[in-house]
Amino acid sequence: MGTNSSTVGQLLWQGPVCLSWKQDLEGAVYHLANCFLLLGFMGGSGVYGCFYLFGFLGTGYLCCVLWGWFDACGLDIVLWSFLLAAACLLQLAYLVYRLRMDTLPEEFDLLYRTLWLPLQVPLHTYKEIILCCQEQVLTLATEQTYAVEGDTPINRLSLLLSGRVRVSQDGQFLHYIFPYQFLDSPEWESLQPSEEGLFQVTLTAETECSYISWPRKSLHHLLNKDRYTSRLFAVLLGYDISEKLYTLNEKLFAKFGLCFDVRLPSLYHVLGPSASDGGPESEKDEEDGFGLATCPAPAVPTSAQQPLPCSPHPAATSHPAPLSRARIPRPDSGVLGEDSSSLVLEDFEEVSGSESFMDYRSDGEYMR
């Protein structure tokens, strides 16, 4: 310890041990190498920051190799500079390899930046989701059907990447599906993993479409394995279904142009089946109602028994029959509706024996 401390003291207090300083400066290669090293150590973080850092450091150490070989003529300088330059080049090669491994096809990269990146989904999680669909992009030609009502089984979940899909039921247009929306989110949520079912709507491509599709069993396996992915899909599917419901709500309007919310309970009286279309069950309910309306005589002694007034039969009421109203033509599609397929509440049958929903100008007034 005493010998080491004395040596350090000599180096610090007794001046340099160099016998003489060189009068000539080093060559331009040496100064160029130090400039590259200075720029390299000013690099930032991240992938591109590492490219900047190791790129300039590798170039600077290569310049040190040239300086040690031609000017300094020192084997140790050449070897160390060569080893440091090789380490930087290997690090650059590794970064290029990682970038190539992380590179996604154009469709999946755009999907990640549009749908998943705003939710701060890690790239490795997104890759697991993409691997579940086998990284395949499927296509639909114009007027080709994705699903047929009552015929196509619910065995997958699909996400539209491009194009436009028309949703209809019994030949009646319901709504459109646009890019980055699920094609069959309501059907997916309507079934348990062990259940099977058929589509209740028909999905037809109006333009050339591309989409990705997850097999039902594979996706359920992924969701059961990763809780984060399960919650992520729950959020996306819930948002997609709500968007579809609001799209249907926008198409439901009254003849005077006021929109009504499909979630309000008062619309049940309008959208529900009418008594006249109920078939045998409605007739049975009517008969039961009539039977309850007829009051039986109370059990009293025969001598004191007198007929009590009973409520009249509904058919025997003297109220005049309501006059049929003339049907008002549909409003122009440019003002209220989307097209001629938009729903008008006036088209629904009224419930017999109750006031019409169309007699009120707002849903709140009808509720009161």
- Annotate 325-365 with DSSP letters as a single string: PPPPPPPPTTTT-SSTT-EEGGGSPPPTTS--GGGSSSHHH
Determine the average pLDDT of the residues in 168-180: 91
Q: Which pLDDT does position 245 carry in this prediction?
A: 85
Q: Which pLDDT does position 254 carry in this prediction?
A: 47
Q: Write the pLDDT tens digit of every residue in 336-366.
A: 334 433 444 444 444 334 444 445 455 455 4
Determine the average pLDDT of the residues in 162-182: 92
CB 67 within 8 A of CB 25: no
Q: Write the pLDDT tens digit of every residue in 299-315.
A: 434 333 444 444 444 44
The overall average pLDDT reported for the chain is: 74
Handedness of CA 159, 165, 170, 174 (dihedral sign): positive
Q: Write the pLDDT tens digit of every residue in 222-244.
A: 999 999 999 999 999 999 999 88
CB 257 within 8 A of CB 336: yes
The answer on pLDDT for 258 being more than 50 is: yes
Q: Which pLDDT does position 199 carry in this prediction?
A: 92
Q: What is the DSSP string of 288-335?
A: HHHHHHSPPPP---TTT--PPP-PPPGGG--PPPPPPPPPPPPPPTTT
pTM greater than 0.75 (yes/no):
no
Q: Write the pLDDT tens digit of every residue in 30-75.
A: 889 999 999 998 887 888 889 999 999 999 999 999 988 888 888 8
Q: What is the DSSP string of 113-168?
A: IIIIGGGT--HHHHHHHHHHTTT--EEE-TT-EEE-TTTSB--EEEEEEES-EEEE
Q: Which pLDDT does position 157 carry in this prediction?
A: 94
Determine the average pLDDT of the residues in 178-188: 92
CB 155 within 8 A of CB 147: no
Residue with the bigger pLDDT between 118 and 347: it is: 118
